[in-house]
Homo-oligomer: A and B are copies of this chain.
Amino acid sequence: MKVSAGDSRDMAAEGEAVSNKQVIFKNYVTGFPKESDMYLTTSSINLQVPEGSDAVLVKNLFLSCDPYMRGRMKNFPSDDPQFSPFHPGSPVFGLGVAKVVDSGHPKFKKGDLVWGPTKWEEYTLVSSPDHLFKIHHTDIPLSYYTGLLGMPGITAYFGLNDICTPKKGERVYVSAASGAVGQLVGQFAKLMGCYVVGSAGSKEKVDLLKDKFGFDEAFNYKEEHDWDATLKRYFPEGIDIYFENVGGKMLDAVLLNMRVHGRIAACGMISQYNLQQPEGVHNLMTIVYKRILIKGFVSFDYFGQYSKILDYVLPYIREGKISYVEDIADGIESAPAALVGLFSGRNVGKQVVAVAHD
């Protein structure tokens, strides 16, 4: 055991080699991902960062299951360090909440709670800890740092404010509205005085939208067979803002119902991820004569402004004015099913995997 220069490390624990359950990505996926595209294995890990390294060794508490991860299950040339494919034979990676076990980085010390990029395993050596955020507010459930106070919160807040610039009284439509991002977009838009309609894929989710999140209206898209007509029913005067999580046929129906100068923020298109050939969107000509803005965005670009969302959201959480619904799967063994379930809409609310409780 090597001992690096003076900090508050607990030498009793950190030198230990412990067993480390991992979720390994098997191989690139076409079509819907299956649980069998991942497998569990147990390796061992030394709970200490290598000498001279500025890495951080963390114990993972919560892992985040996010639709964008489907994109990492196929091979592609990536020049974007923030969005590269999984490596077959290596652990799945993503975002999570973790506790620092050992640190070679001056910003972190043992016992710190953090959220950010980690791997799907019990313990992870984070080699680029600069991308980790330290968690300062622990009166909020820690799992929320995979959702409301993590990447989905950033996505909802900046997508809505920066791209859609909502004004009081504007009409907002949110698809995948009970999901990690959608439930927040709807609530933020309501707090801004908008009229908000959401769609989701079950009665339970639709009830959540109306009863828990305060959406003005909500519908089950699986029970509607002509989405153009459905949207005309809920938006007789058209849609000012569409928060796009779905893509494909839903986007086509929305384009027919946008108002002049409407704005569409696109952070994902979950309906398309598992198709060999994405659906064609036919109604793009409407963007010309309706002067519509469509802006794709990636939440990572806003991570530098993370404090803004804390300032905005923490008071609302503490006043009980924002709710957040999570679907927490217990144990790292449940992680593959939890991730795969996103694409059939099995989850109700933000899908999280609880790996350890402290």
Binding site for B on A (CB under 8 A): 71, 80, 83, 247, 251, 260, 266-269, 272, 277-298, 301
Known: A260-B80, A293-B293, A293-B294. A278 touches B282 (CB 8 A): yes
Q: Are B297 and A288 in contact (CB under 8 A)?
A: yes
Question: Which B residues are CB-close (under 8 A) to A266?
Answer: 284, 287-288
Question: Which B residues are CB-close (under 8 A) to A284?
Answer: 247, 251, 266, 269, 278, 281
Distance, CA A297 to CA B280, complexed state (A): 22
Given A268-B288, A279-B280, A293-B295, 17 other A-B contacts at CB below 8 A? A80-B260, A251-B284, A266-B288, A267-B288, A269-B288, A278-B283, A278-B285, A280-B281, A281-B284, A286-B296, A288-B296, A288-B297, A288-B298, A289-B296, A291-B295, A291-B301, A294-B294
Question: Which B residues are CB-close (under 8 A) to A71?
Answer: 289
Q: Are B296 and A287 in contact (CB under 8 A)?
A: yes
User: Main SS of the interface on chain A?
Assistant: loop
Distance, CA A287 to CA B291, complexed state (A): 18
Distance, CA A288 to CA B281, complexed state (A): 15
Question: Which B residues are CB-close (under 8 A) to A278?
Answer: 282-285
CB distance from A88 to the nearest CB of B (A): 21
Question: Which B residues are CB-close (under 8 A) to A291?
Answer: 295-298, 301
* A-B contact list, 29 entries, CB within 8 Å: A71-B289, A80-B260, A80-B289, A247-B285, A251-B284, A266-B284, A267-B288, A269-B284, A277-B282, A278-B283, A278-B284, A279-B280, A280-B280, A280-B281, A280-B282, A286-B296, A287-B294, A287-B295, A287-B296, A288-B298, A289-B298, A290-B296, A291-B295, A291-B296, A291-B297, A291-B298, A291-B301, A292-B295, A294-B295
Distance, CA A260 to CA B294, complexed state (A): 15
Closest to A264 in B: B294
State the copy count for this chain.
2
Q: Are B301 and A296 in contact (CB under 8 A)?
A: no
Question: Which B residues are CB-close (under 8 A) to A288?
Answer: 266-269, 296-298
Distance, CA A295 to CA B294, complexed state (A): 6
User: Contact partner of A289 among B83, B260, B279, B282, CB < 8 A?
Assistant: B83
CB distance from A220 to the nearest CB of B (A): 25
Minimum-distance CB pairs A-B, first 6: A280-B280, A287-B296, A288-B296, A294-B294, A278-B282, A293-B295
Question: Which B residues are CB-close (under 8 A) to A286?
Answer: 296
Question: Which B residues are CB-close (under 8 A) to A80?
Answer: 260, 289
CB distance from A289 to the nearest CB of B (A): 6
